[in-house]
Amino acid sequence: MKIWFVVPAAGSGRRLGGDIPKQYLALAGKRVVEHTLERLLTLAPAGAVVAVSAGDTLWPTLAISRHPLVRTAAGGAERADSVANALALLAGEAAGDDWVLVHDVARPCVRVADIELLIQRLENSPVGGILAAPVSDTLKRVSATRAIEGTEDRSRLWAAMTPQMFRYGLLTRALAAALDQGSKPTDEAMAVELLGYSPLVVEGHRDNIKITRREDLAIAETILHWQQRQRTTSGVAE
């Protein structure tokens, strides 16, 4: 049984603005995608498939795109399309019960120790699961005009993170079924849920942020520097 990583990286990052997708923005001396992949490759997977858009001219210029464990797949219009294309690239090589961990390219601060915990906790799970964190903010349900309609009970609400870890066969079936039905699942767990399964959540650290807006770059850089200081002080990986 092997472990594979899939990294959808075909988004344009419109909410960040600017001329280049967010995965190629500079962050603490490297590009966002380089930080992300370096952390994943620390775990020595069987391989990592990065799904990029057809017109992406920056990806081939990066040395990490030529890493012996890294492969490139065609990105799709939506996240689910990109992940499905990456899984198709592994057809005939990945076994049905191999684990696939899908990770957002814009989560460069994920702790290696959290990924190891996810793998450990889900090793014998028949379904799989995701890294997540319990919601601490008060959540408001609002109308189209942004008027508050109510307050949600946060006691059972968790914020989904990545990686999201599922068997190759199950995830392939789940995404195919969702896309056939015209559904556009926003994460892999949603696709698996649509098949009637209940993935597990494994609590991860809140510093596993997703870079979505311009200010997130500054937050991510602060986190990376803080994590480096923690490693230097304790001698322990993230």
User: Is 139 within the bounds of a domain?
Assistant: no
Task: Look up the CATH number of the domain holding residue 186.
Answer: 3.90.550.10
For range 183-203, the mean pLDDT: 96
Percent of the chain with pLDDT over 70: 95
Q: Give whole-number Cα distances, 235 to 88, 102, 232, in Å.
A: 39, 28, 5
Residue 142 lies in a domain: no
Q: Is residue 150 part of a domain?
A: no
Sheet strands side by side (includes 128-134): 70-74, 47-52, 3-8, 99-102, 158-167, 128-134, 200-203
pLDDT tens digits, 57-108: 999 999 999 999 999 999 999 999 999 999 999 998 999 999 999 999 999 9
Domain annotation covers residue 144: no
In the three-class reduction of DSSP (H, G, I as helix; E, B as strand; rest coil), residue 38 is classed as: helix
101 within domain boundaries? yes
Residue range of the domain that includes 34: 3-131+161-234
As for how many domains the chain has, the answer is 1
Contact assessment for residue 69 and residue 48, using Cβ atoms and an 8 Å cutoff: yes
pLDDT at 99: 98
The pLDDT tens digits for 142-167 are: 999 999 999 999 999 999 999 999 99
Residue 22 within a domain: yes
In this structure, which amino acid lies at residue 163?
P
